[in-house]
Amino acid sequence: NCPEAPKCDKGYLYRSFDGTCNNLGYPLYGKPDLTYDRLLKANYDDGISTPYKAKDGGPLTPARTISNKLYPDIPLKDPIWTLILMQYGQIVAHDLSNIKQEGPDNCCTNETSKNPKCFAIEVPFDITDRMSLAGIKCISFIRTTTDRDQGCYTENEPVEQVSDVNSILDLSVTYGNSLAKSQELRTGLGGKLKVENRNEQDWPPRDPTPTKTCFLPNTEEACYLTGDKRGNQNLQLTVLQVAYLREHNRVCDILAELNPHWDDEKLFQEARKICIGQHQYVSYYEMLPIFLGRDNLLNYKIIYDTDDFVDDYDSSVNPAVYNEHANAANRYFHSNIEGYLKLYSDKFRLSYSSVRLSNWFDRPSFLEEGDNFGGLCRGLTTQLESNVDTFHTSEITQYLFKKAKTFGKDMKAADVQRNRDHGFRSYNDYRELCGLKRATKFSDLSGEINELAIILLQKLYKSVDDIELTTGGSVENHVQGALAGPTFVCIMLKQFSKTRLSDRFWFERSGKTGFTLDQLNEIRKASISRLLCDNSPTTDYMQPEGFKYTSIFGNKLQDCNTLPSINYTKWKE
């Protein structure tokens, strides 16, 4: 049942869609349907898959109770950063991983599945029926080092969760995670991706099975086909999905004019390479410094202060995403979500209307009404994100995916429950991994956690060793210059380091598969502001730093055409 390693063409200039052949020694590295990586070995009650209990053998406080007590809805705003920062974070998260919910044919579907080593378990998400988020999780076995390139698993090891997208930061949300998906998305003409034009704007093509993907009160409503299954999940996410789709086609037009002799394939791959370059640049050089601190990123060699190439590819690094990153640390930024989105109707951001998040989950048609898309491009770069703390909007803790019902699901209960069914070791173990002192009593936490939060933790956990990674990490005071505490910053730094090191096609590499130095320094002019300016026909003014609030004192709104932009003549052959 092991996937067969593909034969790689070592001279091929472009990335595959599923991530295979990025690593020529281990061609399967990075592909979808492989297990997450782990920083620390899993800790299950039975050593295999049963979530552990409290140290005294009793049950842990239910996830839903933890959500209610630790993550209430107190609407504080971030003092500096705009909502598009939160949103870009989600795009990066979706690019890198997605817990597989049901298994492939040879694995994981149920206890009688064809592969006896695999099975699925029911995840009891919380205690109340009304808000339950029960689902089936795909489990397969951890792979040993010797057969890691084969995708084989060994018996009697703890279960390891599977991600169903490739683990490479390659804008797979736009291009898909398989060759087949990319073909479904392409027109085959001029390098372009499929779009449907309505009201003089391009929108993603329609999903052929909309009722599976979207919530559609009216059957004619649009439900989009994008490179990622989650592309319709919320309006602000879909804004970025649409922006990158339009950006790809925009770049195709420019390249076709410069190089009329290029065929569909060449135009497609070159435009794709440019868009992935922009995405890697915006993610690492514009977004991550805000989340994790610029000095930290420089010190850990995750970004470089240079106008040269950076050839730090390390073929020994497996791109597989750390389970603790995706399913604990990175989810801390669910805190940044705002419950209402503002739509600014005018150029200078003077008047707005607003829309409730939970009215439009899985329902993108709102974007096509009037100038809602433009209104959101301006709104997301004007509205402040929610303060990064333990408070969470009830739009995601009471009303997530509510559809036509009064109540929905609880995102934070889900986050806590994932910590449990993924068998993460205790918060204390991750403190140690990250160079903090192990706490033997609650008061030992006072270096990193404020007094009020310690009191809350004491109410929720009997022993300091019962504190979970998701909860403990979320109450730490932030590291200076970053938007998370030391344990989560440490985990995310490890992740973003491996993501760049393991990518043979990283945008800063030299050589035949990379850009020329001239081109690379053009890619370094990309920005979130320019992406939105160029792909929202009604947005003419934007501040230079789109992730940061704009005011008359600084980061002022300016004509889009005066913002730095890529000079594409560097691509003329």
Task: Provide the binding-site residues for ligand HEM, judged by CB under 6 A.
Answer: 86, 89-90, 93, 97-99, 163, 233-234, 326-327, 330-331, 333-334, 336-337, 396, 411, 414, 418
Q: Least separation, in Å, of the C-beta of 554 and ligand HEM?
A: 25
Q: Which helix (H) or strand (E) holds 139?
A: strand 135-141
| Cα distance between residue 123 and residue 422, in whole Å | 11
CA-closest candidate to residue 284, choices 501, 114, 117: 501
* 99 vs 255, beta carbon nearer ligand HEM: 99
Tokens 């993501």 sit at which residue? 499
| Cα distance between residue 313 and residue 215, in whole Å | 43
293 Ramachandran zone, left/alpha/beta (phi>0; psi -120 to 50): left
Comparing every residue's Cβ against ligand HEM, the nearest one is: 89
Q: Least separation, in Å, of the C-beta of 467 and ligand HEM?
A: 20
Q: Least separation, in Å, of the C-beta of 136 and ligand HEM?
A: 11
* 326 vs 532, beta carbon nearer ligand HEM: 326
3-state secondary structure of 315: coil
| Cα distance between residue 386 and residue 81, in whole Å | 9
334 labelled binding-site residue: yes
Considering 94, 325, 392, 422, which one is annotated as catalytic? 94
DSSP letters spanning 28-55: TTT-TTEEPB-SS----TTSSSSPP--T
Would you say 78 and 549 are in contact if contact means Cβ atoms under 8 Å apart? no
Tokens 């049901």 sit at which residue? 102
Q: Least separation, in Å, of the C-beta of 198 and ligand HEM?
A: 25
Would you say 209 and 202 are in contact if contact means Cβ atoms under 8 Å apart? no
* 380 vs 411, beta carbon nearer ligand HEM: 411
Q: Least separation, in Å, of the C-beta of 333 and ligand HEM?
A: 3
| Cα distance between residue 7 and residue 10, in whole Å | 9
Angle of CA points 469, 232, 506, to nearest 5°? 65
* 281 vs 291, beta carbon nearer ligand HEM: 291
Tokens of 487: 């344990």
Burial of 242 (C-beta count, 10 Å sphere; 0-12/13-18/19+): buried
Q: Least separation, in Å, of the C-beta of 499 and ligand HEM?
A: 13
Find the DSSP H helices in 131-227: 172-175, 179-185, 210-213
For residues 124-145, one letter each, b for 16 or more C-beta atoms within 10 angstroms of the residue's C-beta and e for the rest, the string is bbbeeeebbbeeebbbbbbbee
* 151 vs 408, beta carbon nearer ligand HEM: 408
Would you say 524 and 516 are in contact if contact means Cβ atoms under 8 Å apart? no
Q: Least separation, in Å, of the C-beta of 571 and ligand HEM?
A: 32
Angle of CA points 26, 508, 314, to nearest 5°? 30
478 is catalytic: no
Q: How many residues does the chain have?
A: 573
Q: Is the dihedral of CA 539, 544, 549, 555 positive or negative?
A: negative
* 90 vs 201, beta carbon nearer ligand HEM: 90
Q: Least separation, in Å, of the C-beta of 96 and ligand HEM?
A: 7
Q: Least separation, in Å, of the C-beta of 291 and ligand HEM?
A: 8
* 169 vs 255, beta carbon nearer ligand HEM: 169
Tokens 């398989």 sit at which residue? 178
- Alpha carbon 156 to its chain centroid, in Å, reads 31
Backbone φ and ψ of 466, nearest 5°: -80, -20
Q: Which helix (H) or strand (E) holds 414?
A: helix 411-421
* 169 vs 563, beta carbon nearer ligand HEM: 169
Q: What amino acid is encoded at 80 in this protein?
A: I
3-state secondary structure of 452: helix
* 464 vs 492, beta carbon nearer ligand HEM: 492
Q: What amino acid is encoded at 565 in this protein?
A: S
**Would you list which residues are annotated within the binding site for heme b?**
334
Annotated catalytic sites, by residue?
94
**Would you list which residues are annotated within the binding site?**
334
